[in-house]
């Protein structure tokens, strides 16, 4: 039989398809250019000495005009035997419109002993892959023995144990043998076939087991991390991250054949449905994740409504796809065809608009959905299947997981910062102050050293707001923040916004005298800002009143006492005319200090 038949229309492309390819996938040309070029088509049988052969496509002849009832006899002896054509792709692909495809190839063994090879079909979601072995000894191609595997059939006993359909071929000495392959699937009809020696196959299996073990292990840790983070911070976005990554990992396990390998024959009735469910849930959780993480509802109700439609469209697609109804295509087109493009564009648009934590999320989202866009392209026949696509899903998942982890860490950091920092002044907030105050008290109980507090209040601040406006009031408070930060730099010190126009400073290991000096330094620095305040009865610029309290923390003391004493001292400073420092020596108020020594800025 002839090993070469090239149809006159092979390799040509309709203008419409070329236009669609250019418009929809122009951004991927850089990646596609990295794919290896198809080897020159030739008719010679595959020499077993040339193994391992990574891609068998150029040595295949394909029959695409068969139906589900076509038999081996029909394609070997009948008129269909003349309709085999050699593909023009390294990995032939015919989309979802071709449920049954036949292929044939010839192996040549020049040795004087039988030679073995391993046939690997690297598309685990095919329903059924049947390999017909030629009858030994006679040279006949009769269907004497057939090996079969797939996610919708029970594997034959001679199948090689592997996550994808794999069969052992044995070619008699000094002979050629022609093999027929029948592939039936409800998924995309794609034929990524390789031929391996037993040694190279063993090396390949061990390498893949290691790499995918590391990948699934990293994803598992990431899922635990996001789930824990979501519970700790009460973040719904982190919870949706976990569900999204679980569905992504499940889809990868199905596509790579691990689920088929783990479940064995018990999974045959469920493999196809689980594949469809994982796809639908991936898009459902993804749309919800995007809505929650970027707070789309607050930014644009229109964008949120579109994402919500895509989200529930993915959920509705699952039963339609399992039932095989025509509606599944109508629903799947916007959800899985246009949805990834829209959502990726949206993520980058929100990044450019300055949405919190959007930058790393957008990059991760792009990698996660690059596979979805390319999948959709070759499934509907817009693009061919290239060798790099075999590793696209695990690579995109690994990169996406990395960027998602960074995005989550950044968000967790922001949550932590916002929970501890006053957003307007950048100083610690009241909650952080309380935590730090308790921590310093405990530390100083052990060392028997003093702890001082300075309570600070902006004088006549209501009149300032009434006269200049609240925006000017906010700017005045922000101007005070650097002064407080500059004067609380030592280990254990902390400046915080206590509420409204009130501030507090913790001075660790600082006695009353030095705390008083520090308070006077702060008072002078604020007055030195010379912020106009025409409505003040104190002066013509913004000033502050300060109350100082010091104590050596003792076990069993009431933590609020020192704060109360500082507050009493502050009240005393206001009574005495404001723009001054008053010092309390618990339990009694000691003195008001109007004009400290010239070296008041010195600190021990």
Arithmetic mean of pLDDT, 13-28: 38
Residue 123 has pLDDT above 80, yes or no: yes
Residue 318 has pLDDT above 90, yes or no: yes
Q: Which residue has the higher pLDDT, 285 or 33?
A: 285
Q: Among all chains, which residue has been given the structure tokens 């104590």?
A: 551
Pairing label, strands 544-551, 581-585: parallel
Mean pLDDT: which of 84-93, 352-361, 586-595 is highest?
Answer: 84-93
DSSP reduced 3-state for 495: strand
pLDDT confidence of residue 136: 62
pLDDT of residue 144: 63
Mean pLDDT of 265-274: 89
Query: What pLDDT does residue 604 have?
Result: 33
| Better-predicted residue by pLDDT, 495 or 31 | 495
pLDDT at 13 over 70: no
Residues 568-589 have a mean pLDDT of: 83
Residue 277 pLDDT greater than 90, yes or no = yes
Predicted local distance difference test score (pLDDT) of residue 210: 93
What mean pLDDT is predicted for residues 87-97? 85
d(CA 456, CA 295): 37
pLDDT at 219 over 60: yes
As annotated, the active-site residues are 501
Per residue in 494-504, pLDDT tens? 999 998 899 99
Q: What pLDDT was estimated at residue 43? A: 44
Three-state SS annotation for 435-480:
HHHHHHHHHHHHHCCCEEEEEEEECCHHHHHHHHCHHHHHHHHHHH
Tell me the average pLDDT of the chain.
83
Does the pLDDT of residue 591 top 50, yes or no?
no
Whether the Cβ atoms of residue 491 and residue 473 lie closer than 8 Å to each other: no
**Residue 36 binned pLDDT confidence (cut-offs 50, 70, 90):** very low
Distance CA 190, CA 372 (A): 16
Q: What share of the chain is helix, strand, coil (3-state, %, to 5)?
A: 50, 15, 30
500 Rama class: left (phi>0) / alpha (psi -120 to 50) / beta: left
Helical axes 236-255 vs 198-233, angle rounded to 10°? 170
Pairing mode, strands 100-109 and 46-47:
parallel
The predicted-structure confidence for 393-433, as pLDDT tens digits, reads as follows: 888 888 888 888 888 777 777 766 667 888 889 899 988 89
Confidence (pLDDT) at 22? 37
Torsion of CA 166, 171, 177, 183, to 10 degrees: -10
pLDDT for residue 417: 65
Of 85-99, 182-196, 361-375, 396-410, give the range with the top mean pLDDT.
182-196
């Amino acid at each position: 039989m002839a090993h070469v038949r090239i149809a006159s229309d092979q390799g040509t492309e309709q203008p419409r398809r070329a236009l669609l390819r250019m418009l929809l996938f122009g951004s991927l040309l850089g990646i596609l250019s990295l794919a290896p070029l198809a080897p020159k088509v030739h008719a010679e049988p595959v020499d077993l000495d040339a193994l391992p052969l990574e891609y068998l496509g150029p040595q295949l002849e394909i029959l695409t005009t068969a139906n589900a009832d076509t038999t081996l006899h029909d394609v070997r002896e009948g008129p269909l035997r003349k309709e085999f054509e050699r593909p023009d792709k390294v990995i032939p692909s015919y989309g979802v419109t071709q449920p049954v495809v036949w292929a044939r190839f010839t192996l040549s063994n020049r040795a004087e002993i039988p030679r073995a090879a391993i046939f690997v079909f690297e598309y685990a979601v095919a329903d059924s892959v049947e390999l017909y072995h030629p009858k030994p000894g006679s040279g006949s191609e009769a269907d004497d023995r057939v090996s079969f595997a797939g996610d919708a059939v029970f594997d034959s006993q001679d199948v090689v144990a592997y996550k994808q359909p794999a069969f052992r071929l044995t070619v008699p000495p000094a002979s050629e043998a022609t093999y027929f392959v029948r592939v039936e699937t409800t998924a995309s009809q794609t034929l990524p076939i390789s031929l391996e020696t037993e040694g190279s196959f063993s090396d390949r299996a061990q390498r893949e087991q290691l790499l995918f073990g590391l990948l699934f292990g990293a994803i598992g840790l990431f899922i635990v991390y996001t789930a824990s983070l979501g519970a700790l911070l009460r973040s719904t976005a982190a919870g949706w991250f976990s569900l999204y990554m679980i569905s992504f990992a499940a889809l990868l396990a199905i596509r790579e054949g691990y689920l088929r390998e783990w479940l064995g024959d018990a999974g045959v009735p469920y493999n196809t449905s689980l594949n469809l469910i994982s796809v639908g849930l991936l898009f459902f959780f993804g749309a919800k994740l995007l809505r929650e993480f970027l707070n789309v509802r607050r930014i644009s109700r229109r964008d949120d409504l579109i994402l919500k439609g895509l989200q529930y469209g993915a959920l509705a697609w699952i039963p339609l796809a399992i039932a095989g109804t025509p509606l599944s295509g109508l629903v799947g087109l916007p959800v899985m065809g246009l949805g990834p493009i829209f959502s990726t564009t949206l993520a980058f648009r929100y990044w450019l608009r300055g949405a919190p934590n959007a930058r790393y999320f957008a990059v991760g989202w792009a990698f996660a959905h690059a596979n979805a866009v390319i999948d959709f392209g070759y499934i509907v026949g817009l693009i061919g299947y290239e060798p790099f696509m075999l590793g696209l899903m695990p690579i995109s998942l690994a990169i996406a997981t990395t960027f998602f982890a960074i995005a989550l860490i950044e968000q967790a950091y922001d949550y932590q910062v916002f929970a501890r920092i006053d957003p307007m002044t950048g100083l610690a907030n009241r909650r952080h102050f309380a935590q730090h105050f308790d921590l310093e008290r405990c530390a100083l109980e052990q060392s028997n050293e003093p702890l001082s507090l300075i309570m600070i209040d902006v004088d006549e601040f209501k009149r300032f707001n009434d006269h200049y406006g609240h925006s000017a009031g906010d700017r005045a408070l922000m101007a005070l923040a650097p002064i407080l930060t500059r004067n609380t730099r030592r280990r254990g010190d902390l400046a915080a916004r206590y509420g409204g126009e009130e501030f507090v400073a913790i001075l660790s290991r600082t006695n009353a005298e030095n705390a008083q000096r520090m308070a006077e330094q702060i008072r002078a620095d604020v007055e030195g800002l010379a912020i106009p305040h025409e409505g003040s009865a104190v002066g013509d610029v913004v000033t502050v009143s300060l109350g100082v309290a010091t104590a050596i923390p003792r076990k069993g003391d009431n933590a609020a006492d020192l704060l109360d004493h500082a507050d009493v001292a502050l009240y005393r400073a206001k009574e005495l005319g404001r723009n001054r420092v008053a010092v309390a020596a618990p339990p009694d108020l000691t003195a008001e200090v109007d004009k400290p020594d010239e070296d008041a800025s010195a600190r021990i």
